[in-house]
Copies of this chain bind each other. A is one copy, B any other.
Amino acid sequence: MALPDYIEDLEKWQSEFSHSYPVTVRFSETDAFGHLNNTVSFVYFEQGRINFFKDIGFGEEWFAKGGEGIPVTADLHCDYKRQVFFDENLEVHVKVAGIGNSSIDLHYLITNEAGKVCMTGRGRMVQVSRTSGKPLSWSKAALEKLEASQAIAG
């Protein structure tokens, strides 16, 4: 399997995920080729990402009405390794692969019940001010949460 440029060593990369969330393929998510439509991976990434944010304590800051910062998607990438079909039970793994001033690079891994890699991916999220629309630097508390999520994984 040729590796995308955000993965150096697949085994090491996989071992660094410590947060994952189950998702079962819905019938409405399949397409006429009989498998999961390619656009749905990004729905699973978003769902995994939001669960991850809640797990590390970002839920209130980002999704409560009063929060100053909101997460904006800067880019998203998905590599499709294995076809996925209706009713498969998948796991969406998420980790912080890099931390900027007001952004993070998240990596994604979707595995099937046999533990096989179905999709890998990555994407950068930027924290933006709800009022100014400009990038908003991480607070010290936020940075600590992001770093802690990596430490757990190590």
Contact = CB atoms under 8 A, between A and B. Distances in A.
Contacts of A38: 42, 46, 73, 76
Interface in A36-71: 37-40, 42-43, 46-47, 50, 63, 70
Given A31-B31, A37-B28, A80 B73 contact: yes
A128 B151 CA distance: 42
Given A26-B47, A28-B37, A39-B39, A74 B70 contact: no
B4 A28 contact: no
A46 B42 contact: no
A4 B50 CA distance: 25
A152 interface: no
Contact of A32 (B31, B40, B42, B43): B31
Contact of A77 (B32, B50, B76): B76
A75 interface: yes
Contact of A63 (B63, B73, B77, B86): B86
Interface of A: 4, 26-28, 30-35, 37-40, 42-43, 46-47, 50, 63, 70, 72-80, 85-87
